Amino acid sequence: MNYYFIILNYRLKSFINRIKNLNRWKKIKNFIFSISIIILLSFLYLGFLRILNYLKGIDIIGMLLIWKLSSIVFLINFFMIAISSLIISMTTLFYSSDLKFLFSFPLPHHSILLDKILLSVFYSSWSLIAVMLPYVVAMIKSCDFNSSFIVAFLFLIIPYSFLASYFGIFFSIILMYFFPSSRTRDIVWLLSSFSFAGVYMSIRFSKPEKLLNPDALGLIVNYLSYLQAPTASYLPSWWFTKSLIKFSNGEYFYFFLYGFLQYLMLIFVSFLIVKVGSKMYVKAFNGAQNNPSTKFSFNKTFEFLINKKFRRINQFLMFIFKERKNFIRDIRYYSQTILVFALSMVYVFSIRNIPIDGQDAKNFIAFVNIIISGFVVSALSLRFVFPSVSLEDGNVWIIKTLPIKAYTFLYSKLVFYFFYILIFNLILVGLSGHYLGIDKLIFSFSIFVSVIMSFFICCLAISMGAIFPDFNIENIHYVESSYGGFLFMTLSVLYTLSVAVWFAYPIKIYFMSRYLKNADFDIVFFYSSIFVFLLVNMFLINYIFRKAVKKFEAIEV
């Protein structure tokens, strides 16, 4: 344990040094970043408060509904932390740049493992816990709980977040231990991703929303017993919820009993994971150092063939080639792509199953769908597109010393990622529109706006990635949660909301013309709004991209 404190000490010192050496500009950036987070959390709080107040207002079962919703929220969050730790622990435990340094010292392996476990837990859970905070504060306000409820929450969140993260950490260690060959490991990793995606889709396709429909449960008694029943009683998220229920009821003995049991479980699992895990960790770490020595046959792919005919774009094509090879050969992208595919299937399925009949309602859903898919594309771009410049990492010297323009380099990234993002967005918008059976005009409008939005969001992600690069990354997730990532997400969400506001009136006119016989559809106004939207987007894209090019040109390596 003493050895662990040596590592912890050096981490704390690095952190303190980083804070001490912040220059004025970085201090300002930190301040703006903190204010923005507070504003974002405040908005979340208001949203949660509205929902909770509505539920509270329902006679008799108001509190039951609130606790049922809370248990679902805590369960979803629990799974999100577990999935997040699955991805983060793989890189933190086995591919961090300081691991070779740490293993070269006479440090007990369990102290290194403990250090990496704590880092994984922290990076997997901090942002999700931050999002839970406004929910809990809204609960206090809405349900008139004592303010000590927040202390109870903070007391319980420690075992909750640790136990959730342990799922991913333990899976990573086991995977690396039993499948040290990288090829086998990749296959198992892929199969796991497929299984996870399969389970996710099958749960959704089984239409669990039927359970929330009182009519489907037949009797009111059944419905009440559903509300009172535990949500996943064997998972710590339910123990967490149960403890909070006891605290809110003033049953402090049971609160401490449940809390104590959770801490006991945490100590037991921590002991197990450190003791057993440290025995497996060295072998697993050694396995992670192996790389497949497979030979690849070299075929002149389409980039080389096009290149022969169009020499003027040879540099652009070669960077597309480089990006494509990197994407295809990096197994980490596979699992995420599979999950994204599962997500899109579930999304389309959910849209298809919305119980609406009227054509106008369907058209309205199609319009809302454009905006929701804009948010989804923003989140995807934050994960895949925004970090792509930073992922050049140590290779950025190649780009800076080659006789290529920063514009060509960034543009090749933009085109490459736009292709994938567009396909994804067209699945969300196009397939949903098809299943909803919306009007041809709304369908064409949805597709057109989605194409422009995809390009804009991609361009914004690449540009912000180039304006706020981090070429010394240890973990890709640090890039996503950086200032640049936060700023990109904020701008992207604002952009998506602006699109909704911009088209609200033209779409309203279209709907009115369908509802009211004497209301005319001003087609010139409708198309003008699209044309102006296109022009504004072109201007903004040009402006942002040029800023990014200038910033990238000025980067010194």
Partner 1 sequence: MLEIVNVTKKFEDKIAVNNISFKIEESEIFALLGPNGAGKTTTVKMIAGLLLPTSGNIYLSGIDVVKKPLEAKRMISYIPDEPFIYPNLTGREFLSFISEIYGIDNYDDQISELSEYFGLSQDIDKLLVTYSHGMKQKILIASAIIRKPKLMIFDEPTVGLDPISVKKFKVYLQRLKENGTSILICTHILEMAEKICDRVCVLNNGKIVYNNLVKNIYLDLNKNLEDLFFNLVE
Length of the chain: 557
Positions that interact with partner 1 (CB under 8 A): 291-298, 304, 307, 311, 314-315, 317-318, 321-322, 325-326, 329-330, 393-395, 397-398, 400-405, 554, 556-557
Select 95 or 364, whichever has its Cβ closest to partner 1: 95
Select 316 or 386, whichever has its Cβ closest to partner 1: 316
Query: Which residues neighbour 50 within 8 Å (Cβ) at sequence distance 6 or greater?
Result: none
Query: Which residues neighbour 376 within 8 Å (Cβ) at sequence distance 6 or greater?
Result: 343, 347, 425, 428
Look at residues 134, 128, 132, 123 and name the one whose alpha carbon lies nearest to residue 38. 134
Select 246 or 322, whichever has its Cβ closest to partner 1: 322
Instruction: Give min distance, CB of 400 to partner 1, in A.
Output: 5
Instruction: Give min distance, CB of 481 to partner 1, in A.
Output: 24
Look at residues 556, 345, 547, 530 and name the one whose alpha carbon lies nearest to residue 453. 530
258/236 Cα distance (integer angstroms): 10
Select 358 or 403, whichever has its Cβ closest to partner 1: 403
Select 250 or 403, whichever has its Cβ closest to partner 1: 403
Instruction: Give min distance, CB of 387 to partner 1, in A.
Output: 16
The phi, psi pair for 234, rounded to 5°, reads -90, 0
Instruction: Give min distance, CB of 289 to partner 1, in A.
Output: 11
Instruction: Give min distance, CB of 473 to partner 1, in A.
Output: 13
String of DSSP letters for 9-58: HHHHHHHHHHHHT--HHHHHHHHHHHHHHHHHHHHHHHHHHHHHHHHHTS
Encoded tokens for 144:
């008139």
Select 293 or 518, whichever has its Cβ closest to partner 1: 293
Select 390 or 450, whichever has its Cβ closest to partner 1: 390
HSE-up (13 A, CA, CB side) for residue 228: 8
The alpha carbon of 265 is separated from its chain's Cα centroid by a whole number of angstroms, namely 29
Instruction: Give min distance, CB of 123 to partner 1, in A.
Output: 23
Instruction: Give min distance, CB of 476 to partner 1, in A.
Output: 14
Q: How close are the terminal C-alpha atoms of the chain, in Å? A: 39
For residue 97, which amino acid is it?
S
Q: Is 207 left (phi over 0), alpha (psi -120 to 50) or beta?
A: left
- Contact between residue 449 and residue 502 where contact means Cβ atoms under 8 Å apart: no
Select 320 or 449, whichever has its Cβ closest to partner 1: 320
Encoded tokens for 446:
């949805």
HSE-up (13 A, CA, CB side) for residue 379: 10
Instruction: Give min distance, CB of 557 to partner 1, in A.
Output: 5
251/473 Cα distance (integer angstroms): 47
Instruction: Give min distance, CB of 324 to partner 1, in A.
Output: 10
Instruction: Give min distance, CB of 553 to partner 1, in A.
Output: 9
Encoded tokens for 386:
């925004």
Residue with tokens 């880092």: 119
HEC string of 130-148 equals: HHHHHHHHHHHHHHCCCCC
- Contact between residue 362 and residue 398 where contact means Cβ atoms under 8 Å apart: no
String of DSSP letters for 145-195: --TTHHHHHHHHHHHHHHHHHHHHHHHHHHHHHH--SHHHHHHHHHHHHHH
Select 295 or 440, whichever has its Cβ closest to partner 1: 295
Buried/exposed 230-243: b ≥16 CB within 10 Å, e otherwise: ebeeebbbbbbbbb
338/389 Cα distance (integer angstroms): 23
Select 166 or 409, whichever has its Cβ closest to partner 1: 409
Instruction: Give min distance, CB of 412 to partner 1, in A.
Output: 11
Select 318 or 431, whichever has its Cβ closest to partner 1: 318
Instruction: Give min distance, CB of 422 to partner 1, in A.
Output: 24
Select 47 or 292, whichever has its Cβ closest to partner 1: 292
